[in-house]
Amino acid sequence: MLEGFLQLVIALLILLVVAPFLGKYMARVFMGQRTLLDPVARPLERLLFASGGFSSQPAMTGGQYIRAILVSNLVMGILVLAIFMLQGVLPLNPTNLDAPDWDLALHTAISFVTNTNQQHYSGETTYSYFSQVGALGFLMFTSAATGIAVAIAFIRGLTGNPLGNFYVDLTLSITRILLPFSIVGAIALLIAGVPETFAGPAVAQTLEGATQYIARGPVAHFEIIKELGENGGGFFGINSAHPYENPNNFTNLLETIIMVVIPAALILTYGIMAGKPRQGWLIFGMVFIFYAVMVGITAVGEFQGNPVVNGILGGQAPNLEGKEVRFGWALTALWAVTTTGTMCGAVNGMHDSLMPAGGFATLSDLFLQIIWGGQGTGTAYLFVFLILTVFLTGLMVGRTPEFLSRKIEKREIVLASIILLVHPIAILIPGAITLAFPETVGAPDVATLAGITNPGYHGISQVIYEYASAAANNGSGFEGLADDTLWWNLSASFSLLVGRYVPIIALVYLADSMAHKQPVPETAGTLHTDTFLFTSITAGTIVILGALTFLPVLVLGPVAEGFAIAQAALGLS
Amino acid sequence: MNRLNIQPLEHLNTWLETLQQRRHRFAVGLFMALCLNLAIAPALYATTESLERGNAYALGLLGLVVTGLAIYLTAVILQPERF
Amino acid sequence: MTAQQTETTTRQPSGPRENRRHTPKVNTSGLYQRAFGQAFAKLAPRIMVKNPVMFVVWVGTIITAILTVNPFVFGPVQDESPRLFNGLVTLILFFTLVFANFAEAVAEGRGKAQADALRSTKSETTARRLRPNGSMEEVSSTQLHRGDRIKVIAGDVIPVDGEVIDGIASVDESAITGESAPVLKEPGSDVASSVTGGTRILSDELTIHVTADPGKGFLDRMIALVEGAERSKTPNEIALTVLLAVLTLVFLIVVATVPTPASYVNSPVGITILVALLVALIPTTIGGLLSAIGIAGMDRVAQFNVVATSGRAVEACGDINTLVLDKTGTITLGNRLAEEFIPLNGHSMQDVAAIALAASVFDTTPEGKSIVRLAEKQGAKLDFNRDRAEAVEFSARTRMSGTDLPSGEEVRKGAVDAIRGFVRSRGGQAPAELEAAFTRVSELGGTPLAVCRNEDIYGVIYLKDIIKPGIHERFDQLRRMGVRTVMLTGDNRITASVIAKEAGVDDFVAEATPEDKIQVIQAEQAKGKLVAMTGDGTNDAPALAQANVGVAMNSGTQAAKEAANMVDLDSDPTKLIDLVTIGKQLLITRGALTTFSIANDIAKYFAIIPAMFAAAGIGALNVMGLNSPQSAVLSALIYNALIIPALIPLALRGVKFRPLTANQLLQRNMLIFGLGGVIAPFIAIKVIDLIVGGVGLA
């Protein structure tokens, strides 16, 4: 037990050490200051800008910025969809895979364009090397960079600066952050034993004489951007539980840290760019505490194991169902919370097999989407909560609420509110429809959930998790769900699109309208937002708003399931 | 010459009119869709569950009321000055 | 009655501030009965639809009412006595609506009562209109138009707003200001020449130039305002409405999506309970009280005898960063008094007194009179025939006044610079000691006035300024609230700095002209600040219009009153400080009740969710140990309904504002309304549950 918790503490400590450096580095990049990579990256960027045909890079208005995001994303989505549909005739297809069904291809394309990487397929048997590397690998960089660009534009707007140029920020995110880190990381993974090859599957003769095909491919570089960009789409169906994606404890630790480091560091980047490092650290601390609590809840649940199983064993044993024994309960719990919190969505164990406490924590991560949050967008959501808190508390000190010296008025509240509405609309409504017709539209295969006396509650978790994962652009699955059907592909696509673009549009407009406000001078009557008190109230607001919205489904899902298991264990003893 | 100058304007006018009609049509369409829902939902319920026809219609009506409230609240969010 | 007495009554309402907080004489008897009736009348859907949160409750009430009549309308129900339960829920929801309407009706009722009191003074009267040829005709007061001239005599009610162009008379303005002492009206002067329709002339007669068209007068505007006829939402209220609508929509989606998952796990939920959950979750507390808070805020302003032209202006008071205040009448008592003569140039004290007396004999200002008094006390006498002398009026350009003696000599008193210039123009030279005397007086915070005869400066009069008692503390409070004060004065720099220091203002502009006012305001606004100021003269009008909050004195000119967005009926400039407090109180009350409303939801969830999913085996979530599922739902709803009337007094009175820094205020209010809002309902719901169980309702 001690060893397990020690592993958790070490991982968290490494994060605390690394994040400030990265935060500072990203701030330098986007404030146009000199960085170490200048000699290498500058010529490359110059070449890219020149070939893209824009030597001058004017700052964009909110509308232009949004148009740039939507158009670029649409073009990339169509391109990728075309690659999927034509993969049968395209090169690098050693296993001669045909084009997938249109609905699966559409879902996959949308899922990767939106930085979600929800996979209703197994990579090794569905998409060719070209589709994986050329189409998916490409989107893994651009979708992550889109997120970072939005976050930077948002921070700039909040602090009263022009939003910047989307294409420049997109390029800088790739050349200065994603690409260099990926190259170093991929080499580290290669050394640690992750394969990188275009050769087809290895063929092996087993001792029994059977022929076994062992899938492999260009995994290492795919793996690193999968974690770094909060993408999460695995090269193999079982994702980072696969020994070629995540062979040992070193790669597991590296991948866990890589997963969380950009969203964590972006908060500190905000502090530096806004000239409010204290606020950056306070928010960082708040999220860190949320994160630690979630890890704690999940880890304790997994460590205590299933009371029903424990009853049969006659003693306490950690829950190892659905886990890689290499990683054990602690690192799986850490990974599960990290991957759902950061909207990465890669998994190193089956979340379906987590204890209800883990189900509760991972679902809450998805609902709140700020426990680090997605690449860039998570940081922006944090500020939406901050703005809502400022509105309430600002009134309570008797002034028109202001944030960073800018007044929060009707327009800002409308835009923040739209973001608040996205999750109920994109998760609860499709979830309720799906559960209304469990037989017709392909519901969870509840019969396989052996050992759980009342499979119904778990079914709710599975359905809600799928939509929450789509709407939060996470991409992990609770699994145990037959999700490659027309209904799931299309309804999840709806949640993916609504969950990605509606908030991004609202965020950019919000930043734009904040940027154009006349700053109000600070006085003794100004509410200071960089205080412990205010940050605590923000934490309360996040918990209350999140809890109020999702308590009914959480109660019907993991909570009821937990009670049911406890009841069953009592019945046994 | 004169004709040439006026024509685009007329074009614009008719286009604006159709747009207004279209906006109107959208509202009507939405209403029709809701009514359709009223007709379909009971049928669906009637086939899937052991509900009487009257109950099914009542539930359909309730769904309509909830949808109406949601649209009303959206209107409040977008144009709070009017309330 | 002398002019000076009148001056005192208009400029400085007597008595300490607390005693002057008089409610206008309004008839509040029967207010609550009428409001209760109104509460039912307001249930009409046309009116309910204006309040999004309560409209959702209204729809919910109708649904539960239908379920009371026929519990099986949406399908079979397992409960034993669904009709009783549904009936009780309907009743509670109904009263939730009534209570919310009642809150609004009470707030409106106060305004209406005030309007009625005002309207009673505004009966249709006949007026004597002067024809261009000077003859008179009798017309109805409703036929008077801007530009007409009318004559009023003792005993008349002045029919319309206007400017006095002829005559001197005392006027009883108590109907509007509540101040019983009559006010002297005469033409020419800024302050005393404007009359208001509805006031009564007590003596003599006046010729008045009408300045308002029928129905557009001050009284009409005031009635419309206090009645709330022109009430439109303030910016913060609109933003809050959006937030409340969003929360309502979120909860509507949450509740509407409960049935299918619940049925999926064989724990179906009845429609009544769903409606109950929805009503409990949506912010009914603040939704029900929001408009009452706004109306009560306007009403509080009115109780301070200030008429605001819009709620927006009241709200803006809370946001004020800078107060621009005139020194005279605001920071210091209106009248400076002569304290001492300082002889110069080898003249004796007697000489100075005599010259000062000669220079002031025609000066009717309080300052002038006090100089006369001081000189007479020192034994000075007039040594010329007053009737043959000629007065030289003060003007802002010359900055001096005086008398041309029958002997042809000119005696003058005025600002030291001005006299120095005068003496020089007469070929004289200012003595060296003048500068020393000037500095001495200035450093005492007094105003030095030089006196001279022809080219000879006789000495300096020390006019003492008296800073209002308690003003320093008020400025300290403002500073803690983050409001900066800027004093404007015509005094010289040294005097201004001494007074500024003594009064505790943050900044001052000395030797200020009326144009400086507008410059100071614009400079502050350029820094993003919201500026408030008071003014009464016509030359203040541009500055009043430029300021974010401009408060005109009722004694001021029509031009000033029209440019301002508030009019102070007591003409007390320090009231601006109270208005800042009222504006802040308004916002705090809204924020506090919203926080309270949302915080309440946690306890309501813990009451209703275990009851709702009783079949799902989550009994352990029933942390309050409530009697039964039905009792839990009823208790939560009863709490939800009762909290509205319980908070009406707070909504009408406003959360008490303390002059603390923002962070201290936040901490305090968060503790009371945030933490209190989480804890209080747990206790209240438990108690109600015990009672509900005790009487056997469920």
pLDDT tens-digit readout, A478-531: 766 767 777 888 889 999 999 999 999 999 999 999 999 888 888 777 888 899
Q: Which residues of A touch B80 (CB under 8 A)?
A: 410
Q: Mark residue A373 as left, alpha or beta (left: phi above 0; alpha: psi -120 to 50; beta: remaining).
A: left
pLDDT of residue C682: 95
Q: Of C148, C161, C299, C326, which residue is the catalytic one?
A: C326
Q: C64 pLDDT exceeds 90?
A: yes
Residue A139: pLDDT band (50, 70, 90) is very high
d(CA A472, CA A464): 12
Of residues A393 and C181, more confidently modeled: A393
pLDDT of residue A367: 94
Residue A321 CB contacts under 8 Å (≥ 6 apart), including other chains: A306, A350, A353
Average of per-residue pLDDT across C532-536: 82
Residue C471: pLDDT band (50, 70, 90) is confident
Average of per-residue pLDDT across C454-471: 85
Dihedral of alpha carbons B14, B19, B20, B25, sign: positive
Name the residue of chain A whose CA is nearest to C598's CA.
A544
What sections of C192-233 are H helices per DSSP? 218-227
Task: Say whether C389 sits in a helix, a strand or coil.
Answer: coil
Distance from the Cα of C232 to chain B's closest Cα (Å) equals 8
Q: Is C589 on the interface with B (CB under 8 A)?
A: no
Q: C617 pLDDT exceeds 90?
A: no
End-to-end CA distance of chain C, in Å?
75
Contact B55 C59 (CB under 8 A): no
**Is A77 in contact with A146 (CB distance < 8 Å)?**
no
d(CA C290, CA C652): 10
Residue C16: pLDDT band (50, 70, 90) is very low
pLDDT of residue C121: 66
The one-character DSSP state at C620 is: G
**Is A109 in contact with A225 (CB distance < 8 Å)?**
no
Touching partners of A (3+ C-beta pairs < 8 Å):
B, C
d(CA A22, CA A3): 29
pLDDT of residue C442: 86
Model pTM greater than 0.90? no
The mean predicted confidence, pLDDT, of chain A is: 88
Q: Which residues of A touch B78 (CB under 8 A)?
A: 414
**Is A166 in contact with A219 (CB distance < 8 Å)?**
no
pLDDT of residue B44: 58
Residue with tokens 């998760």: A427
**Is A151 in contact with A376 (CB distance < 8 Å)?**
yes
Residue with tokens 């232009």: A64
Q: Is C77 on the interface with B (CB under 8 A)?
A: no
d(CA C447, CA C461): 8
Average of per-residue pLDDT across A179-188: 94
Name the residue of chain A whose CA is nearest to C583's CA.
A398
Q: A451 pLDDT exceeds 50?
A: no
Residue with tokens 């509110």: A417
Contact C250 A420 (CB under 8 A): yes
Residue B33 CB contacts under 8 Å (≥ 6 apart), including other chains: none
Q: C599 pLDDT exceeds 90?
A: yes
Contact C238 B80 (CB under 8 A): yes
Residue A376: pLDDT band (50, 70, 90) is confident
pLDDT of residue A360: 95
Contact C63 B59 (CB under 8 A): no
Contact C233 B80 (CB under 8 A): yes
Contact A553 C262 (CB under 8 A): no
Residue with tokens 């709070």: B80
Residue C439 CB contacts under 8 Å (≥ 6 apart), including other chains: C494
C 280-319: CB under 8 A from A = 281, 315, 318-319
Residue A552: pLDDT band (50, 70, 90) is very high
At C458, phi and psi to the nearest 5?
Answer: -90, -35
Distance from the Cα of B28 to chain A's closest Cα (Å) equals 23
Q: A346 pLDDT exceeds 50?
A: yes
Angle at A419 between CA A413 and CA A422, to 5 degrees: 140
Q: C77 pLDDT exceeds 80?
A: no
Q: State how far the alpha carbon of C201 is from the alpha carbons of C158, C191, C196, C389, C518, in Å.
A: 7, 17, 11, 35, 36
Residue with tokens 């939801």: C601
End-to-end CA distance of chain B, in Å?
50
Q: Which residues of B touch A417 (CB under 8 A)?
A: 77
Summarize pLDDT for C551-577 with one digit per residue, the tens: 888 777 777 777 888 888 777 777 887
**Is C444 in contact with C462 (CB distance < 8 Å)?**
yes
Of residues C302 and C284, more confidently modeled: C284
Residue with tokens 């969870």: A444
Q: B49 pLDDT exceeds 70?
A: no
Q: B6 pLDDT exceeds 60?
A: no
C 602-661: CB under 8 A from A = 602, 605, 609, 612-613, 616-618, 620-621, 657, 661
Cβ contacts below 8 Å, chain A against chain C, sum to 211
d(CA A389, CA C564): 34
Is ipTM > 0.90 here?
Answer: yes
Interface of A with B (CB under 8 A): 410, 414, 417, 437
Residue with tokens 């305090």: C668
% of chain A residues with pLDDT over 90: 54
Q: Which residues of C touch B52 (CB under 8 A)?
A: 75
What is the crossing angle of helices A377-396 and C575-612, to 10°? 120
**Is C215 in contact with B63 (CB distance < 8 Å)?**
no
Distance from the Cα of A214 to chain B's closest Cα (Å) equals 46
Q: A257 pLDDT exceeds 90?
A: yes
B 16-55: CB under 8 A from C = 51-52, 54-55
Q: State how far the alpha carbon of C195 is from the alpha carbons of C218, C374, C462, in Å.
A: 10, 35, 36
Q: Which of A376-385, B10-19, C630-639 has the largest mean confidence?
A: C630-639
Mutation target for B interface from C248, C272, C282: give the one with most B CBs within 10 A. Answer: C248
Q: C465 pLDDT exceeds 70?
A: yes
d(CA A300, CA A282): 27
Summarize pLDDT for A26-41 with one digit per residue, the tens: 999 999 888 888 888 8
Cβ contacts below 8 Å, chain B against chain C, sum to 57
Residue C22: pLDDT band (50, 70, 90) is very low
Residue A53: pLDDT band (50, 70, 90) is confident
Contact C243 A413 (CB under 8 A): yes
At C191, phi and psi to the nearest 5?
Answer: -75, -45
Contact B78 A414 (CB under 8 A): yes
Mutation target for C interface from A360, A363, A388, A396: give the one with most C CBs within 10 A. Answer: A396
Of residues C213 and A15, more confidently modeled: A15
Contact B48 A437 (CB under 8 A): yes
Residue C2: pLDDT band (50, 70, 90) is very low
d(CA A411, CA B31): 29
Distance from the Cα of A416 to chain B's closest Cα (Å) equals 11
Q: A78 pLDDT exceeds 60?
A: yes
Residue B17: pLDDT band (50, 70, 90) is low
Of residues A3 and C252, more confidently modeled: C252
Residue A439: pLDDT band (50, 70, 90) is low
pLDDT of residue C627: 87
pLDDT of residue B24: 54
Is C326 part of the annotated catalytic residue set?
yes
Structural domains counted in chain B: 1
% of chain C residues with pLDDT over 70: 91
Mutation target for B interface from C48, C53, C54, C55: give the one with most B CBs within 10 A. Answer: C55
Average of per-residue pLDDT across C428-457: 86
Contact B77 A414 (CB under 8 A): yes
Residue A252: pLDDT band (50, 70, 90) is very high
Mutation target for C interface from A282, A389, A395, A441: give the one with most C CBs within 10 A. Answer: A395
Task: Please give the residue range of the domain that contains residue B22.
Answer: 2-82
Q: Which residues of C touch A534 (CB under 8 A)?
A: 666
Q: Is B69 on the interface with C (CB under 8 A)?
A: yes
% of chain C residues with pLDDT over 90: 24
Contact A567 C243 (CB under 8 A): no
**Which residues is C332 bridged to in the sheet?**
C328, C467
Residue C186: pLDDT band (50, 70, 90) is confident
> Which of C242, C612, C663 has its CB closest to that of A533?
C663
Mutation target for B interface from C74, C104, C234: give the one with most B CBs within 10 A. Answer: C74
Interface of B with A (CB under 8 A): 48, 77-78, 80
The mean predicted confidence, pLDDT, of chain B is: 67
> Which of A454, A520, A525 has its CB closest to that of C483?
A525
The mean predicted confidence, pLDDT, of chain C is: 84
Q: A538 pLDDT exceeds 60?
A: yes
At C407, phi and psi to the nearest 5?
Answer: -75, -5
Q: State how far the alpha carbon of A198 is from the alpha carbons of A123, A126, A130, A141, C244, in Å.
A: 15, 16, 10, 20, 57
Q: Which residues of C touch B73 (CB under 8 A)?
A: 52, 56, 245-246, 248-249, 252
d(CA C276, CA C57): 9
